[in-house]
Structure 1
Amino acid sequence: MRGRAMAAVAVSTLGIMAGPGTAVAADNQPPSQPLISELKTDFKACATGADAQYVGQPPALTAVLRDPDAVPPVAVMLTAEFEMWWQDPQGEEQRRSFSPSYQSLSGSVQRWQVPSDIPADTPISWRVRASDGTAWSPWSSDGEGAPCRFVFDNESPLPATVTSTDYPAEVWKDGVGVYGSFHVDSPSDDVVEYKYGFLGGPYDSAKPDTPGGPVTIRHLPLRSGPDRLEVYPVDRSGRRAGPTTYTFLVNNGRAPVARWKLADATGSRTAAAESGPAARAGTGVAFGSAAPSGTGLTSTARLDGSSRGFLTPNAPVVTPGKTFGVGGWVRPERTDRAMPVVSQDAGTTGPGFTLGLRTPAGAPVWSFEIGGTKISGGAPEAGEWAYVLGLYDAETGTARLYVNGHETGTAAKATPWAENGNLQIGRARGKDGYRNRWQGEIGDVRVYDRVVVPEELTRLANRAAQSIGHWSLESATDGASPEEQGGQELRLGGGSSIFTEAPECDLLDPDCVPAPSPLNGKGHLELDGNDGYAATKNPVVDTSDSFTLAVRVRLTDREPAGPMTVLSQAGEHANAFKLRYVPAEYRWQLVMTHADAPDAPETVVASIASPDCGEGPGQRLAIVYDDATDQVRLYLDGYTNADATATFRSAWKSTGGLQVGRTTVGDGWGEYLHGAVDEIQAFAGVLSDRDIPALGT
C-alpha cells in the first residue's frame, strides 16, 4: 500500500531497519484521532465550548499527529488537514482549510500559520485530522472531541489610571517604612493583568477579580525622595498598553515614637526621652557607663542584673497588632543565661514581645520573640557591643531579627498579643513576675511604629572608624618617625632608615642620574632585610575589637629565602596577626593566631596574589577585622576576593607594639622585610569597601 511504502522509505532514510523475522502488520489502521490536550493555539491550550483563547495576532495552530501502526521499528509518515470556520457579519459561515505540503513522523507536530486576513473580535473554531496516505483519522472535534476556539484581538487596551490617597501625585507624604495603597484601573474591559514597577523595584503584576476591573497595589517605600510607579495593562490576548507613569514624593521615615539615649547624668533615677515618655530607672541602673565608639553616643546605662536593674516608662509604647520596630546598642557582661533587652507586658501573664539574649541548648543567641514565635541568630559575646533590633510587619504578619544591621535567623509568621501593658527595658515579665534581667550596658533604645528599612538599619548599626595613627615616614628625628597627629612614634632600629627625595640634577648634564622617587610624598622607610625594622612602644590597634590597618610596600628582594613580614602585633607569647609576603607562592598572607600561648595554632585567614611580586610602584595592602561579624578581609590595591575573606572567631587583645618589617619567631625576631614601606594608617573600626581604595594614595 502507498502509506506503507512511504513508511518504508522513511525507515530507510532514518536508518531504522526492522530486524530479521520482525512481523509487520498486514492490515493498515487509520491514524488516531488528534487529542484535544495536544492541540495548541499560539502555544496556548485548546479552548472549547463557550471558552475561547484570545490572541493578539493571527495565531499558529499546532497539533500532534499519531498512528497506531507506528510501533518501532515501523515508522509512519502522516499528513495533516486543518480546518477553521466562523460567522461573518451577515451570518454566513466562512470556512477555510489547509494541508501542509510536507509529511512528518507519527508523534511529531504539524503546524498551520493562520492567514493575516482573518476577522478580528470574532470567535473562530478550528479542528484537525491526520492521513497516512490511505486512511483518515476522525476529526479532533468528532465524538467526545470538540472544536478549539480563539478570538483575534487586534486592538491594545487603553492606558491605566493610577490614584493614591496615601501618596498623592507630586505631593510630599508620609514616608520611608510606611505602606501605601495605589488604586489602578483601565477604561478597557478586557484587561486581565496589570504589570507594574516602582523606581528601583519591586517589579510585579496584579490581576483584577474580573476582566477590566481595578486592582490595589500596596507598596513600602524604602528610600526618601521622588518615587515612580509605571503600570502597563495587559488584555486577555496578551496585548499591552503604553505605560502610565505616576510620580509621588516620599518623606524621610517618621522619628521613633519613643527614644531613650540612656546617656543621663550619673545618679539619675529617670531616663530622659528624646520622644515619648521618660523612663523610671531602678536602683540597679547606673548611668555614665561606656558607649560604643564611632556611634555618637557619649555614654550608656549599666544594668546590674538584679531585680532593681530595669527602666520603664510605666506606659505601653507598642500597639498590639500594629507594625513596630524596637532596638538599641547592647553589651552583655555574661552570656550564660537568658537576658531581655526590651519587652512589653501583655497583662499579668507574660510579655507580648521580648528582644534579647537566650541560651537554647546552652549556646547563646540573640532572639526576638513575639506571640510565641521565636527568631534567633547571631553569636553574642560577653564584653562585645552589638546593635540588635526586632521588627514586626503587620502588613505581612512577619517578624524579623537584625544584628549589627544584618538580618539574622529566619523570618517567620507571628501572631501578635492582644493585651496591652507597660514597656520594659532590661527585664521581661513571666507568669510569676519579672524573672530574667539584663546584666551589662544598654544605650539608645528606640521604638518605631513603622517598618525600619535596610538603609536605616545599616545607619543605626554603623560604628564609624576612627583614625588612631598615620605615619607618612618622610622624616626621622633621633631615630624616630612621628605620627601625624602627635601620637606614639615609630622608632627605627637595625638596618632601617628614612629615604628622602634627592635634589634634582640637570638632565642636560651627562653625569646626571635621576634619583629614585619615594613611594609616596617626600620619603619612605627603607628596610635592609637583615635586622631593619620600626616599631611603636605600645599597641596601635586593639586586636580583640574591630580595626583597619593599611600600608604601602615595595619589595627589593623578590625571591628571598623565606617569608617577609610587613606588619605584625604580638602579645606575650604569640602574634595576634602578621601580614607577610610568601615568595614560594608569590602571595601576600594574613596570618592570625588563636590565642596568646606558645603552642597556639596559626591560621592563614586570607591570601591574595601579588601580580608584580611586590615590585614596581609598590602595592597598597589593607587588613580589615570586623569584630561584630568575625569577618577578616585582606585588600590589595583597594580590592579583595573570596580567598582574601574569612571568618575568624578567636581574636584576642595583643599587648605588644606595632612591628614594621619583622615578627616574633620563637623567642626572637625574624621574617625581616627587604623593601620600602610607606603610608601606615590605623583605624579603630571598620572602613567600608568604598573607603579602602583611597588608603595609601
Structure 2
Amino acid sequence: MGVPSLVAGVMLATPGMAVAAGKLPPAQPLVADLESGSQGCVAGENRPYVRFVPQLSAVLHGRAGDDQPGGTERVKAEFEAWWKTADGTEQRLAITTTAKTQGSQFSWQLPAEIPGGTVVSWHVRADNGEAVSPWSSEGAGTACEFVYDDEDPERPVVSSADYPDGDAWTDGVGVRGTFHVVSPSEDVAFYSGYFLGGPQVTVQASGPDGGADFHYLPETSGLGRLHVQAFDRAGRSSKPTDYQFRVGSGRAPAARWKLADAAGSRTATAEAGPAARVGAGATFGAGAPSGTDVTSTVSLDGTGHGFATPDAPVVATDKTFSVGAWVRPAAVDGRRTVLSQDAGQGPGFTLGLRQADGLPAWSFTVGGTPLTGGLPEVGEWTYVLGRYDAWTGKARLYVNGKAVGDEQPVTPVAGDGDFQIGRAQGAAGYRDRWQGEIGDVRVYDRVAVSAEIAELGSRKARLLGHWALETAPEGVSAESNGGQPLKLGPGAAIHRSDDTCDPSADPECDPFDLILDGEGHLNLDGLSGYAATEKPVVDTGDSFTVSAIVRLADQEPEHPMTALSQGGVHGDAFKVRYVPSTYSWELVMSHADEPGAAETTVARIEWPDGGQGVGHRIAIVYDDATDRITLFVDGYAATAGTAEFHDSWTSGGGLQVGRGRTADGWGEYLHGAVDQVQAFAGALTDREIAVLT
C-alpha cells in the first residue's frame, strides 16, 4: 500500500481507501486486535477449527493522522466474510455495526448458515462517516481464517495384543500392556481416557493411522476397563468407547528359594527356577522373622564360603525385574550383598547394604546407580526388595514393604552371568559378602506392585494376651487363652454389672459406675490399686502393641496417672499415662534401663472423664521395622501422635495395669476404671487399631 499524501486539500489514497476532503480516514485495523471467537487472527495451516459458529471481534481506532482531536471520534465497523462452495462459487456476507467511540471493541455474531468443514475468511475496516480505513487484510495485514467444525469425530476403536477383550484372563498383575486407540475420523487431534480407578490421560494422535497408544500397569487382578474418547481440532468429542479386559493374577516368581532346607544340606531347594549350590559357610536352620510364613532361614558367615548360587542366570538384568528377601544382618559395616547377578567382571545389579553419609543404609544398585534408604541394624529382621521397570527406565528400593526415596532413572547392564545369594562379583573375584541370615528369596520377571510388596514385607501381629477383666476369683483375673493372669493388688477390684449398689449402706458404692465393656471392669483407687503379670508379656525390644479401655474417675486429677507400663529394674521401657497439667495422654519410651535415662514422649490432648461415659480406647504401637512409636486415642490415625524411636530395650518386668516406675519406686497410681487389656507381638496397622475391640 502506498503512503497517503495531501494535494490541494484532497486525500490521494490507494485503491480500497475512501476519503473526503479535510478529514483523515480511520487507522487500519491491526491483525493483533482481531479474534475469531476466542482465538487470534490466523491464516493458512494454523487457522483455528471451532466447534461453534464464532463471533468475530475487532478493536478499531479513529484518525490515521495526528491533526484531529484524540479519544472522541466515533467509528463504525464494516465486517465482511467469504468462502467458496463445493462448486467453487464464492459466497460473501457483510455487516456494518453502529458507531462507537474509537478504541472500542466491535463484534459480529456470524449467522448459523456458515457452512461446516469450509475455510471461511474475513476482514474488517473502520468508517468514521466521511472516510473508511483500509481493510485489515490490505498491505501488511492478512485475512483471518477459521473452519467451523460441525461434526463430532467417530467413536474410537481399541485393540490390545497384551490384554485382548473377551472372556480370557490374561497375565496379569505387574505386566504392562499397550492399548492402541484409533478413530475412523481424519481430523482427530488427541484421545482422552482413563483406566478403571486411574487418572485421566491425554495422548496426542500420531502415526499413519492418526491413532494413539495408552499404556497400563495392572496393580490388581480382575475386570479392567479403558474408557476413551476422540477429540478433533475444534475440541469436539466422539461418543466414548469402553474396552473391557480381564487381568489375571501376577506371574509367580521366575525363581524362588525359601532357604528353609534341613541343617547340613549343601543344596537349596528351588520352589521355582534351578536349585542352588550352597557353600560351606552357609548353615540352614537359622531363625525366621515372626509374624511371617518364613519357617527358617540360612545363615551366612561372611567368608568366601558363605554363599548360595544356582550357577545360572535367573533374570534379564536389562529388562524389567524385581528381587527381594527377608534378611537379618549380623554386621552392617562396609558393603554387604544379599542378592546379585554376574555381568562380566561386575554385577548387573546388587541388593544389600552400603555406607551412605557415614551410616549404613539399605541399597539397590542397577548399572552402577545406587538407591539407598532405611537404617540396617544388627539383629533386626528386614524385608528388602529392589525393582527395575524397563518401560520407565527407573528403579526403586523398598524396605519392609514401603518405598524409600523416589524412583530414579538408571542405565541397566545386560548380563547373563550366574545369580548369587550372599555375594557380588568384582574384578578380582567375589566380594561384599553377607554376614547374617537370608530367607525366602524371590525373583520376578515383572514389576512387583505396591500391594504385593507391602504383603511380602509385612509381619502379622500375634495376640499374646487378652484380659477381659470380668472376674477375679481370689484376686486373679484370667487371660482369655490361658496365659499369664493379672494379679490384683490392694486397692484394685472387679466391678460387675450385676453388683447391687446401695450408697446408703456403702458410701463407696457408685450407682453411675457403668461397665466399660462386657459384664465387668477393673476399678483402681488411685492410692495403691494395680494389677500385674508376674513376667513380661511383650518383648519391648521388638515390635509390640498394647491396648486398653480407660476411664478416669476425676474431673481434675491431682497428679500424673499411669494406665499401662512394662519395665525393668530402674524404669519403664514404656508407659502410657494421663498428665493433668497438660490435659493429655502420653506415651513415654525410655532409652535404657538406667536411672535418669533419656525418654521420648508422644502426647494427645484429651479432657478427663470424671467417672462418666464409656472411657477411651488407648493403644500404643512400637514398630521396630520403621523405628516409630505411636499413641492412639479412640482408635483412629487422625487422633494419633507419633515419633521416631531407635533405642528400644528388652524389659524383664511384668505388665503393669494402673501404676508405673518413678524415682521413688512404684507410683503414679491410676484412679479410674480399666477394661479389655490386650497385648500383641508385632505392630498392628492403623486399620487394625481402628477395629480393635
TM-score (ref. length: structure 1) = 0.88
1:387 Cα offset (Å): 0.8
The answer to whether structure 1 residue 578 and structure 2 residue 600 are counterparts is no
1:100 Cα offset (Å): 6.7
One-letter amino acid matched to 2:206: D
Q: How does 1:72-471 map to 2 (within 5 A)?
A: 81=77, 83-89=79-85, 91-97=89-95, 99=97, 111-128=107-124, 139-170=135-166, 171-209=168-206, 213-347=210-344, 349-471=345-467
One-letter amino acid matched to 2:520: G
Deviations 1:373-431 (A, max 9, x none): 11111111111111111111111111111111111123222222133200000000111
One-letter amino acid matched to 2:545: T
**Match of residue 498 from structure 2:** 502
Contact 1:129 1:138 in 2 (8 A): yes
Aligned mates of 1:540, 1:145 — CA distance in 2: 89
One-letter amino acid matched to 1:576: A
Aligned mates of 1:550, 1:102 — CA distance in 2: 79
1:217 Cα offset (Å): 2.0
Contact 1:474 1:524 in 2 (8 A): yes
Aligned mates of 1:64, 1:534 — CA distance in 2: 88
Q: How does 1:423-572 map to 2 (within 5 A)?
A: 423-502=419-498, 516-572=513-569
Secondary structure of the equivalent of 2:406? strand
One-letter amino acid matched to 1:93: Q
One-letter amino acid matched to 1:328: A
Aligned mates of 2:226, 2:265 — CA distance in 1: 51
One-letter amino acid matched to 1:480: V
Give the counterpart of 1:46 among 41, 44, 47.
Answer: 41
1:464 Cα offset (Å): 0.8
One-letter amino acid matched to 2:53: P
One-letter amino acid matched to 1:44: Q
Secondary structure of the equivalent of 1:525? strand
1:505 Cα offset (Å): 10
One-letter amino acid matched to 2:495: F
One-letter amino acid matched to 1:537: E
**Match of residue 681 from structure 1:** 678
Aligned mates of 2:452, 2:224 — CA distance in 1: 18
Cα distance change on mapping 1:54 and 1:537 into 2, 3 Å: same
Cα distance change on mapping 1:66 and 1:695 into 2, 3 Å: farther
Deviations 1:266-308 (A, max 9, x none): 1111110100001111111111111111111111111111111
Q: Single out whichever of 120-129 and 442-451 deviates more from structure 2.
A: 120-129
Secondary structure of the equivalent of 1:641? helix
1:62 Cα offset (Å): 4.4
1:118 Cα offset (Å): 2.2
Cα distance change on mapping 1:145 and 1:254 into 2, 3 Å: same
Cα distance change on mapping 1:515 and 1:604 into 2, 3 Å: closer
Contact 2:552 2:609 in 1 (8 A): no
1:465 Cα offset (Å): 0.8
Cα distance change on mapping 1:93 and 1:404 into 2, 3 Å: same
**Match of residue 19 from structure 1:** none
Contact 1:553 1:614 in 2 (8 A): no
The answer to whether structure 1 residue 594 and structure 2 residue 591 are counterparts is yes
Aligned mates of 1:29, 1:534 — CA distance in 2: 105
Contact 2:618 2:634 in 1 (8 A): yes
Aligned mates of 1:129, 1:543 — CA distance in 2: 87
Deviations 1:571-606 (A, max 9, x none): 332322221122233322212223332222223224
Contact 2:552 2:608 in 1 (8 A): no
Secondary structure of the equivalent of 2:480? coil
**Match of residue 695 from structure 1:** 692
Q: Single out whichever of 119-128 and 245-254 deviates more from structure 2.
A: 119-128
**Match of residue 658 from structure 1:** 655
Q: Single out whichever of 203-212 and 568-577 deviates more from structure 2.
A: 203-212
Secondary structure of the equivalent of 1:542? coil
Secondary structure of the equivalent of 1:355? strand
The answer to whether structure 1 residue 638 and structure 2 residue 608 are counterparts is no
Q: Single out whichever of 563-572 and 188-197 deviates more from structure 2.
A: 563-572
1:33 Cα offset (Å): 5.5
Aligned mates of 2:609, 2:51 — CA distance in 1: 61
1:218 Cα offset (Å): 2.1
Aligned mates of 2:602, 2:234 — CA distance in 1: 58
In the comparison of the two structures, how many residue pairs are matched? 659
Contact 1:284 1:308 in 2 (8 A): yes
1:134 Cα offset (Å): 9.3
**Match of residue 22 from structure 1:** none
Contact 1:624 1:687 in 2 (8 A): yes
Cα distance change on mapping 1:573 and 1:639 into 2, 3 Å: same
Contact 2:52 2:148 in 1 (8 A): yes
1:362 Cα offset (Å): 2.1
Aligned mates of 2:246, 2:380 — CA distance in 1: 40
Aligned mates of 2:24, 2:589 — CA distance in 1: 81
Give the unaligned 5+ runs of structure 1. 1-26, 507-511
Aligned mates of 2:661, 2:221 — CA distance in 1: 53
Secondary structure of the equivalent of 1:359? strand
Contact 1:159 1:244 in 2 (8 A): yes
Cα distance change on mapping 1:119 and 1:544 into 2, 3 Å: same
One-letter amino acid matched to 1:92: E
Aligned mates of 1:539, 1:364 — CA distance in 2: 32
One-letter amino acid matched to 2:302: G
Contact 2:554 2:608 in 1 (8 A): no
Cα distance change on mapping 1:58 and 1:299 into 2, 3 Å: same
1:169 Cα offset (Å): 0.6
Cα distance change on mapping 1:69 and 1:676 into 2, 3 Å: farther
Identity %: 54
One-letter amino acid matched to 1:97: I
**Match of residue 13 from structure 2:** none
Secondary structure of the equivalent of 1:543? coil
Secondary structure of the equivalent of 2:327? strand
Secondary structure of the equivalent of 1:437? coil
Give the unaligned 5+ runs of structure 2. 1-21, 503-508
